């Protein structure tokens, strides 16, 4: 008996701002159904409605399990625009871990790599853009995590007193969205995506 094994498909998507990381929407918000993905593919994990950047869409359930399993601790790097100019001491707190609230329970984040970017990253314009206020400076940070709690980055920067204004997931391991436009989709073969994800 010959089994019909579905071809594995792998898409890297720059999820735009204000798009749900799911294929259905009960309240009229934009979602993944607006984009031309095969019907048997689903997002690996999620990216918040008000966040942007790298989202993997695939029908490979094994890849999904490996990337979402906390024990593998894959590195995820976010470019984060915060309100204000964090002090070095604040950045050390973020790096060492801060206590945030997850589903009503206090949680201490794992150590992270936190760096101040010396220039604004080369990203597509956000639509609509961040509201500009001449008297309020902003700072771009690179934050690399090995975990993915709900709204974790926003909660971490708020904890040290610097609210997140714009949040873009730039990479997972060595897979990144360098040169992507917002809403752009690129298809990868299995060998390449497995290599870039260090799987």
**pLDDT tens for each residue of 27-67:** 999 999 999 999 999 999 889 999 999 999 999 999 988 88
Structure tokens at 91: 């950045």
Give the pLDDT confidence of 72-111 residue by residue, as tens digits. Answer: 789 999 999 999 999 999 999 999 999 999 999 999 999 9
Is pLDDT at 164 greater than 60 in this prediction?
Answer: yes
Looking at residue 134, its pLDDT comes to 81
Q: Position of tokens 């690399």? A: 144
Whether the upstream peptide bond of residue 128 has omega within 30° of 0, thus cis, is yes
Q: Where are the alpha helices (DSSP H) in the chain?
A: 61-68, 88-96, 152-159, 190-196
Band (135; pLDDT cuts 50, 70, 90): confident
- 75-172 shares the fold of 10-69+175-196: yes
Is pLDDT at 2 greater than 60 in this prediction?
Answer: no
Is pLDDT at 174 greater than 60 in this prediction?
Answer: yes
Per the CB < 8 A criterion, the answer to whether 151 and 51 are in contact is no
Looking at residue 5, its pLDDT comes to 63
Q: Position of tokens 């590195």? A: 75
CATH of 75-172, one of 3.30.70.1560, 3.30.565.10, 3.30.465.10, 3.40.50.10420: 3.30.70.1560
Per the CB < 8 A criterion, the answer to whether 42 and 6 are in contact is no
Active-site choice (27, 48, 60, 118): 48
Q: What is the CATH number of domain 10-69+175-196?
A: 3.30.70.580
* Residues 6+ positions from 145 with CB-CB distance below 8 Å: 75, 76, 78, 109, 110, 112, 152, 153
Sequence spans of domains, the chain: 10-69+175-196, 75-172
Band (133; pLDDT cuts 50, 70, 90): confident
* Residues 6+ positions from 39 with CB-CB distance below 8 Å: none
Structure tokens at 169: 């997931």
Q: Position of tokens 């625009």? A: 81
**Mean confidence (pLDDT) of the chain:** 93
Strand partners, 62: none
Is pLDDT at 1 greater than 60 in this prediction?
Answer: no
C-alpha dihedral (41, 42, 44, 45), degrees to nearest 10: 180
Q: Where are the alpha helices (DSSP H) in 36-136?
A: 61-68, 88-96
Is pLDDT at 4 greater than 60 in this prediction?
Answer: no
Average pLDDT over residues 10-16: 98
Instruction: Decide if 50 is catalytic.
Output: no
């Amino acid at each position: 008996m010959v089994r019909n094994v579905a071809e594995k498909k792998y898409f890297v998507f720059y999820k735009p701002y204000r798009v749900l990381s799911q294929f259905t929407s009960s309240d009229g918000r934009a979602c993944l159904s607006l984009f031309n993905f095969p019907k048997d593919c689903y997002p690996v994990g999620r990216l918040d409605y008000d966040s942007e950047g790298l989202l993997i869409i695939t029908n490979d359930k094994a890849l999904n399990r490996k990337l979402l399993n906390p024990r593998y601790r894959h590195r995820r790097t976010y470019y984060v625009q915060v309100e204000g100019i964090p002090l070095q001491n604040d950045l050390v707190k973020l790096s060492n871990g801060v206590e945030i609230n997850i589903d009503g329970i206090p949680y201490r984040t794992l150590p992270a790599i936190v760096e101040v970017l010396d220039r604004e990253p080369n990203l597509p314009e956000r639509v609509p853009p961040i509201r500009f206020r001449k008297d309020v400076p902003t700072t771009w940070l690179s934050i690399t995590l090995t975990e993915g709690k709900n709204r974790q980055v926003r909660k971490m920067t708020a904890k040290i007193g610097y609210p997140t204004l714009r949040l873009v997931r730039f990479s997972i391991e060595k897979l990144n969205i360098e040169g992507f436009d917002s809403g752009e989709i690129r298809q990868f073969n299995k060998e390449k995506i497995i290599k870039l994800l260090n799987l």
